[in-house]
Amino acid sequence: MDIYKLLKTLTETPGPSGYEDQIAAVIQELWQPYVDNVFRDRVGSLVAVKHGRSAEPRRRILLAAHMDEIGLMVQAIEAHNGHGFLRLVPIGGVDTRQVFGQLVVVHGRKNLTGVVGCLPGKMLPEERRDKPFSYEDLLVDVGLPIEAVNDMVTIGDFISFRQPLYKLMHKRVAGKSLDNRASVAAVTVCLDYLQQRHHEWDVLAVATAQEETRLLGAYASAYTLQPDVAIAIDVTFGKGPGANDHTTHELGGGPALDWGPNVHTGVFHALQKTAEEMELNINIETHQRASGTDAYGLQIARAGIPTAIVAIPLRYMHTMVESLALKDVERAGRLLGEFIIGLDGDFLETLAKGMMEEGINQ
């Protein structure tokens, strides 16, 4: 599988949180050859089902990789000397410092290419010249008269960043929305990996909607699909200048397993054991409260779902130049595949027994 080509397709397709139709269609086409059934649920998540080979009723594992990206929304249309400009607000955690000067696409009745502009520093009040721009300062300019803008754009239309995926040295890439299209790619690698291998459990691959804003897809899919085990696949912080402590991980050093309140101890250890058996290099990271991933929503559905987190190291998160190593995506996909192959009818009982023994030993 050409992971660069896969990521290029995924990252260059727009899909801000709440507006995932275009990226969902692309992922559906990618996953269709690997699964038995694929559909969109009520909140917009894409669900693909790959049946296991054991007798029914089969256990089910859910792989959640959110497909939405950060973006912008049209807040107001403003006229100036006959030309139309757009006021904007963020969708998800957009760093305002990254927005000025970006190329964007306004998804109105017709796609319009624009730029995010602002007054030059020398034209701003002196007390604001050396400070980051706020959204009150920024405008999208599509170069059209106000009449044309009013005809083609509506308040609430979404705006995506226009940024291609670039190849860097040593099989690394940089671009937008690698958070979290990298994890969608890892799930795709997993589904491909499972094609010629025996697995007993059903696999529910879910490209979740609206993770960047409210974890809506995770809550809804876990509640509806009722998996026996779930894994959230996301990105984590990569090492680099100014970010080189124990909370970050080397690009190319393998995926990270997260451990904390949103993670079931037994599933964590089972994934860790799988990585050891594969002789696959992994990292361990921790979270103290909410993990900031779909695991927070998956874990609490119905009676509770044993959940784990697999994360891909990423530099410059929530910018237009997010960067990662292609081999970490491939490794994450293989780890998921091998873990699924090892699931059998006794896995849940082993989990429960292990938790009981751990409690007694403490």
Q: With beta carbons less than 8 A apart as the criterion, state whether 353 and 208 touch.
A: no
Are 196 and 336 in a shared domain?
A: yes
Residue 238 lies in a domain: yes
Inform me whether the pLDDT recorded for 360 exceeds 80.
no
Are 245 and 154 in a shared domain?
A: no
Residue 120 lies in a domain: yes
Are 75 and 47 in a shared domain?
A: no
Residue 90, phi then psi, degrees to nearest 5: -80, 155
CATH code at position 132: 2.40.30.40
pTM for the model? 0.94
**pLDDT single digits (tens) 302-318:** 999 999 999 999 999 99
Q: Give CA–CA dist 18/191, Å, rounded.
A: 26
**pLDDT single digits (tens) 238-275:** 999 988 888 899 999 999 999 999 999 999 999 999 99
Residue 139 lies in a domain: yes
Q: Total structural domains in the chain?
A: 2
The mean predicted confidence, pLDDT, of the chain is 94
Are 213 and 302 in a shared domain?
A: yes
**pLDDT single digits (tens) 141-178:** 999 999 999 999 999 999 999 999 999 999 999 999 99
Active-site residue list: 211
- pLDDT number for residue 358: 53
Are 99 and 22 in a shared domain?
A: no
If one compares 209 and 133, the residue with the highest pLDDT of the two is 209
Residue 167 lies in a domain: no
Domain of 130 in residue numbering reads as: 71-161
Residue 168 lies in a domain: no
- pLDDT number for residue 355: 61
- pLDDT number for residue 362: 45
Residue 171 lies in a domain: no
**pLDDT single digits (tens) 69-88:** 999 999 999 999 999 999 99
CATH code at position 309: 3.40.630.10
Tokens of 100: 């000025």
Are 97 and 180 in a shared domain?
A: no
- pLDDT number for residue 357: 54
Are 107 and 54 in a shared domain?
A: no
Q: What's the Cα-to-Cα distance from 222 to each of 259, 298, 304, 310, rounded to whole Å? A: 20, 5, 9, 17
Are 60 and 108 in a shared domain?
A: no
Are 253 and 348 in a shared domain?
A: yes
Final residue in a domain of this structure, among 161, 189, 205? 161
Inform me whether the pLDDT recorded for 136 exceeds 50.
yes
